[in-house]
Amino acid sequence: MEKKMLLKKGAESELYLIDWYGQNAVSKIRVSKKYRHHSIDLILRKHRTLHEARIMSSVKMFDVVTPFVYFLDSNNFEIIMEYIVGNVLKDVFSPNFCTELGQIVAKLHLNNIIHGDLTTSNFIITPQNHLVVIDFGLSFYSERMEDKAADIRLFKEILNSVHVEFFKTSFENFYLGYNKIYGKESLKLFNTVDEIEQRGRYSR
């Protein structure tokens, strides 16, 4: 495990490709924030590391595919997890993937899990054309419809900015997939998405 290669450097953490007992794995390490008091920083990083690992493991119980957690070191704010072979959805985007993506998000929401960062950079397409969800660093539990709607609104904004040429078909497919899993409350939830958007326009 001496060798490691930086894969991604984010605001909250750094991702490294490492060797884990002869196989590729990903090490996610939460980095210190200089603007936070040292003791608060330690508590937050430890809590968020534990929280993310728990959610990544728990969602498997309702058929959401995430990387397997191999090792958790909360004292060093590190999660070592499965390296997923595939392409980031953002790089190989097609509206056809949005139906399955909608189903995945609906499964999370049915179990009151808000992903918190639903972008096409946080899904990996495997060689078998299945979606794997990554990066639960901003996830949290909530029963509130408003929180679920805000999750969906973020994804809608990503479609309308990064994948604007496919927006209409993609969001329609997302809704179809979501509705199939979430059921009759879906329409009410998507109406809440519209309400949040309207409030945003009025505030400007």
Q: Measuring CA to CA, which residue among 67, 119, 113, 110 is closest to residue 89?
A: 119
Residue 91 tokens read as: 């790089």
Distance CA 67, CA 93 (A): 21
Could you give the residue numbers annotated as active site? 117
- Contact between 88 and 114 under an 8 Å Cβ cutoff? The reply is no
